[in-house]
Amino acid sequence: MPGWIDTHCHLDAAEFDADRAAMRAAASAAGVLHCVIPAVHAANWQAVRDLAHRQGDSYALGIHPLCTPDAAAGDLQALEHALQAQQGDARLVAVGEIGLDGFVPGLDMARQEDIYRAQLRLARRHGLPVLLHVRKSVDRVLKGLREIPVPGGIAHAFNGSVQQARAFIDLGFKLGFGGAMTFERALQLRRLAAELPLDALVLETDAPDIAPQWLYRSAAERAAGSAQGRNSPAELPRIAQVLAQLRGLPAAALARATTANACQALPRLAPLLQEVA
């Protein structure tokens, strides 16, 4: 059977420090061919690059909207220099994770937008797609894309309306679906996963976050000392099976389609996949 692509997983996170190599090996054994590792701030750009090279995966460089309060004055210039320096690195596949967050209280949206738009300009200048954070911010993110067009990419952890989904698709973007889709109560998200065009969908875990339903712990369990289960790329095949069932597709057909979609969104992936074919 064809393998799976995890288009968004933070494998440099501290949650994996104790068993990172074993965790990635388990994902490979489960059929995950490749992982895309987005950066979140300047301090982890080198870490995600080194990890991608060590594991045979790929990476993106950017400033996450939740990291904008701590972004230094020179970080955007440093990002431009990093993108220029790594332009010949086949494992650099996107600018990301970038975007806007309207969920976390107290964040300066104007500052987020300034940094987001600056990164869109960098992506356009370097001919790279983007990995977008769109939590409670879809319309603002789309407005930026219309004003500063980039070479496509992925709307990570998409959870918007049908109209918003189609707006991303019309701009050449794919939509990332992962653990949130596995919850039976996520009726709107599951409807989107079932009904949107198959060629618009890619798979992701956002590991170690957005745990699927089978790893979730209730608030009461967490209060009693049971931590939420750590998500990992090894969960992706089971997450994919949920999507396959929602769409009435064989898993192998879904694997082929979502892999092709990931390569369309991130064109530098295709040569890397030939190494593990």
Domain ranges for the chain: 34-274
Q: Please answer whether residues 155 and 139 qualify as being in contact, where contact means their C-beta atoms are separated by less than 8 angstroms.
A: no
The two tokens of residue 39 are 């950066």
Mean pLDDT of 148-172: 98
CA atoms within 13 A on the CB side of 122: 26
Instruction: Provide the CATH number for the domain formed by 34-274 in this structure.
Output: 3.20.20.140
Of 62-71, 124-133, 155-164, 221-230, which gets the smallest average pLDDT?
221-230
Q: How far apart are CA 76 and CA 19, in angstroms?
A: 33
Write out pLDDT tens, residues 46-70. 999 999 999 999 999 999 999 999 9
Spatial distance between the Cα atoms of 235 and 26, rounded to a whole number of angstroms: 10
Query: Beta-carbon neighbour count of residue 97 at 10 Å?
Result: 28
Non-local (6+) Cβ contacts of 237 within 8 A are 4, 30, 31, 32, 251
Cβ(157)–Cβ(178) below 8 Å: yes
This prediction has a pTM of 0.96
pLDDT (tens digit per residue) in 9-43: 999 999 999 999 999 999 999 999 999 999 999 99
Residue 216 has a pLDDT of 81
DSSP per residue, 15-42 = GGTTTHHHHHHHHHHHTEEEEEEE--SG
Picking from 98, 102, 199, 110, the residue whose alpha carbon sits closest to that of residue 145 is 98
